[in-house]
Each structure stands twice: as C-alpha cells, then as structure tokens.
Structure 1
Amino acid sequence: MNSKEYIASGILELYVAGSLSEKENEEVSVAIQQNLDLQTEVASIEKAIVQLTAFTKKDSSYSFDTIKKQLELKDTKVISLQKEKSNWKMYTGWAASLVLGTTLVLSVLNTTSLKDQLASNSLEKDLLKAKIDSTANTLTNTKKLLAILRDKEVISVTLNGQSVAPKAYAKVYWNQSEKAIYLDAKGLPDPPKGKVYQVWSLKLNPLTPKSLGTLDSFTADTNKIFTIKNANNSEAFGITLEPEGGSITPTLEQLYTLGAVS
C-alpha cells in the first residue's frame, strides 16, 4: 500500500502505542525507515502525545475543548528508530503508557463536562421552580395585603416628608384588632451605609415616642412593605434615620416622615 493508505489504516498509532506484535513492529519499523512521509507521521503522533500529556499535567482546569484547540501539531525532527530490541520494548512501553494516560484524561474530561452540563440543567430547573414558588407566594401575599387594606376596620395614616427629606413619604395601615401595622415605605430612599430606618409610635401630649423596631431588610426588600407589631394606643407614627442597631430615643434631626392618626 502507498503512504496515504498506510497512514489512513491506523497502524502507525498502534505502532507508537506498542500494541502490535513483535513481527508487526519490525515490519512497520522497516516501512517507516524507508518512507519519509511515514517518518513524519510517526513524529507527529509522538509530538501530539507529549503535548497533550504536558497540558494535562500543567493545569488541571483545562477543559476538553481547550486541549483540543491547543493541540496544534508542528514540524518536528524525525526520531531514529534504529534501536536495540531491549530499548524498543522500553520505548513502546513508554508510548503505550502515554496513550493510555491520554485516553483516560480525555475520558475524565468528557465525563466531567457531561456532569457539569447535567448539574447546570438541574440548577436551572431548581431556579425556575424557586421563581415559580416565589411568584406564587407573592400573589398570595398580595391578595392578603389587599384584603387587609380593604378591611373597613383598618386605619390609614399618611406619613409626609419632613425638612431633612421633603420628598419622602410612607403610609401606615393600622389593624387595631390584630395589634399590627402594615408599613408601606416605598417612598423612602435607601439608607446610607451604617444607617437604618427606625419606626416610632407616638403619643402627642406629652410627646412620648416608643420604638416599633428597625427596618433592617429595607434595602433587600423589593416591595418595601413591612408587617410590624403595635400594641400601643398610637396617636401618630414617625420614621427616623438611626445608626445600625437603632436608638433608644428618636433623632429628631433625622426625622424623615411623620403622620398623625385622624
């Protein structure tokens, strides 16, 4: 057979891997020594094995596609095959080990890639389910909130912006039977770092503030609607900006909104 047929047969790969019988090895060795094209092909196969092995040792983060892209065969010197039989066995054993190692590496990389893809698909399904559950919860909460707002027993209190933040506003929906308020704080700007909004129940005469707590999740909460316990006989509600952790008494210079119960 001619050079192209010899190369296409795959016998050179088996030769480099040491998978041929001793008689076949000798026949192929003679053919290679007599044909420059076959010598070049064998050198290319050996170079590919060495390059791939170097890549896999150098960086375990290489992907299968990365290795395939970087595996560019270049011209190389032809290795002499005129060696003693004992050296030949050592050489073919080394080559076989490289081929086996390379095969295992590619197998692992392909398997890892498949596992990553399956994990990614599973994650996407989990995220979609979580989004659906979140949407369902949001709808449930919205219906509950609408029922609360439409309750004739609920008192609505508008909190207008004060001098420190004239454009700020908020609204309190006070359900006295449940001893709770529902605060819509959408009209407040995000608090600066290290600061937090604190809600106050107020008695007006004499002025007596009582803390209803801080809005610690204000920035993270998209709807800006908060349920707050309030067992007080409130005459007004106010919101101030305080240091993280809140304050014992309101900082009046940082009074953002204020509204009296009508």
Structure 2
Amino acid sequence: MNVTEYIASGILESYVMGAVSDQERREVECLSSIYPDIRLELDQLSEVLENYALSHSVEPPESVKAKLMDQLDFDKPVQETIVRPMPVDMSTTNSSPTFRVTWIVAASMGLLLFLFSFYLLSQLRTTQKRLTSTQTDNSKMLAEVRQLRDQKTLADQALAVVRQPGTRTLELKGNDKAPQGTMLVFWNSQTHQVAVQVGSLPPLPADKQYQLWSMVGGKPVDAGVFETSSAAVQRMNRNVARAEAFAVTVEKRGGSPTPTLSTLLALAPINA
C-alpha cells in the first residue's frame, strides 16, 4: 500500500469531519492502527482543526446569560408538581426569538469556519505539492545546465588542442574487427597534448572502454581512455611527448596499464 498517496487522497480530512461512510470509517481506523504514518497524520489533523475551531469560536452575547437567570428563580421553594404531557407551543416557550436566532447564527458561523479550515488545509497541501514538484524540476534543470557547462568546457579545451600551431592530424581506420571504424587523433609534439574525435566505432558493453596508445620504440604507452557516445572532439587526460604510431584497443572500463593485443582495432604510424 502506498501510504503517501492514501494520506494525500483527502480521506483523513473527511474522516475527521465525519463525512465518510461506515465502510470508509472502518477502513481509516483499521489502517491507522497498522501504519504509524497514517495515525500520526490523523492525530495532527485532528489537533489542527480543533485548535482552529477553538481560536475562532463565538461566545454567546452577555444578554443571553441575563435572560436565562431572569427566567430561573432559585429562591422559590420546591413544590411537588404533577407533570402531565401537553403540546408545546413554540410561540409561548420561555426561549425568546432573539435567543434562538443568536444560537442558530453562532452554530452556522462555527460550521462555516470549520469547513473553511478544511478548504485552507487542502489548499496548503496542494501548494506544498506544487512547491516540491517545482523544486525537483529546478534541481534537475540546474544539474542539466551544469552538465552542459562542463561539456562545453571540455569541448573548448579539446578544440584548443586542435587549433594549436604544430598540431598534427592522424586518421585511424579499423581492422577486420571493426572494418567500418574510423577516428581522428590530434597530437601536438610541442605541447604534448592529445585529442580524439570518433567517427564510427562499434558500441561496447558497460564494463568496457576504448583506450588509446602511443607507440614509442615499439612499446605501447598509455594515452588515456575515451568514449564513443559523443562525436565531439575529446581531449585525452594523458600527455604524449613522443610517438611513432597510435593504436586503439578495447580494455576494461577505466583503462589498463598494458594493451590487450587480441582486441586491437586500429594502428596507424605517424608519417615523418
């Protein structure tokens, strides 16, 4: 059972008002004995409405008490009387019309204030839900803006490598393991910075990642890992001081200190 949705349905407010069926009443009482959150919400709701009704209660006019005291004579001796049933004529009753009207108005005002308090409570709940939803949307939007800002920063850094004087562009093409695979490697021998741009490479499982290697004296040197989900230029987090060729392998996510030669996808020498 979703307790949050049940509390937000408004059944508890109707229960406190006495505006529920016998089945609904039994259901609320049963669930409140099982779920502490429903019991707590019911107690808080009853307390709020009780305090609101007390704070807006209407005192009867002072004249009512005086009229009642005038009609009750406590000094007369108590005499035994014979009580016989007789029809009551409302026009001759001891209660005056002003007394009856006053109490009717007071009761009506009390009921209206009671119902209005439920309306205000319902509006408060709706406003709180909308505020929570707005805050969630704003948090998501802020996270997306930050992500886009970070991506732009990385893209600007990668493009700066490409635009530097002395940057060389090397095209790597896939072997028989990736015949349609293509990518570009940008390397600046003066600043030692490297960037890549993926054209087309086969998708990998979540626990695998492509890794770039620079070949120096016939030995592979780690040049960093990169993603294939973006066609933008990606700056590598490794500097390459010397390189005779570049190669790409498939490694476990995060990279490997040595290449897995069985997963070699591309190898291209650097022309002098």
Q: Which category describes the TM-score, using the shorter chain as reference length?
A: 0.5 to 0.7
2:271 is aligned with 1:258: no
Given that 1:172 and 1:181 are in contact with CA atoms closer than 8 Å, whether structure 2 keeps it comes out as yes
TM-superposed deviation, 1:141: 4.3
Matched with 1:209 is 220
Distance 2:249 2:143 in 1: 35
Query: Which consecutive residues of structure 1, in runs of 5 or more, have no partner in the other structure?
Result: 1-15, 18-41, 62-102
Matched with 2:243 is 234
Equivalent AA in structure 1 for residue 236 of structure 2: T
Q: Structure 1 pair 209/45, CA: closer, same or farther in 2 (3 Å)?
A: closer
TM-score by length of 2: 0.51
Aligned counterparts, 1:1-262, within 5 A = 47=22, 50-51=25-26, 53-54=28-29, 57=32, 111-203=124-216, 207-215=218-226, 218=227, 223=232, 225-244=234-253, 246-262=255-271
Percent identity over paired residues? 23
Q: Structure 1 pair 104/240, CA: closer, same or farther in 2 (3 Å)?
A: farther
Encode CA deviations 1:111-168: one digit per residue, 9 max, x unaligned.
Answer: 4553232011012123233334444444454444434323332111111111211111
TM-superposed deviation, 1:196: 2.6
TM-superposed deviation, 1:255: 1.0
Query: Which consecutive residues of structure 2, in runs of 5 or more, have no partner in the other structure?
Result: 1-15, 39-115
Given that 1:184 and 1:225 are in contact with CA atoms closer than 8 Å, whether structure 2 keeps it comes out as yes
Distance 1:124 1:222 in 2: 29
SS of structure 2 residue aligned to 1:228:
coil
Encode CA deviations 1:192-241: one digit per residue, 9 max, x unaligned.
Answer: 344332221103xx5221122334xx367674724232233101110111
Given that 2:158 and 2:235 are in contact with CA atoms closer than 8 Å, whether structure 1 keeps it comes out as no
SS of structure 2 residue aligned to 1:185:
strand
How many residues align structurally?
Answer: 178
Distance 1:160 1:45 in 2: 74
Q: Structure 1 pair 114/224, CA: closer, same or farther in 2 (3 Å)?
A: farther
TM-score by length of 1: 0.53
Q: Structure 1 pair 46/123, CA: closer, same or farther in 2 (3 Å)?
A: closer
Encode CA deviations 1:4-41: one digit per residue, 9 max, x unaligned.
Answer: xxxxxxxxxxxx98xxxxxxxxxxxxxxxxxxxxxxxx
Equivalent AA in structure 1 for residue 264 of structure 2: L
Higher relative CO (CA 8 A, sep ≥ 6), structure 1 or 2? Answer: 1
Q: Structure 1 pair 52/117, CA: closer, same or farther in 2 (3 Å)?
A: farther
Equivalent AA in structure 2 for residue 53 of structure 1: V
Bigger CA radius of gyration: 2
Equivalent AA in structure 1 for residue 165 of structure 2: K
Distance 1:47 1:175 in 2: 81
Matched with 1:36 is none
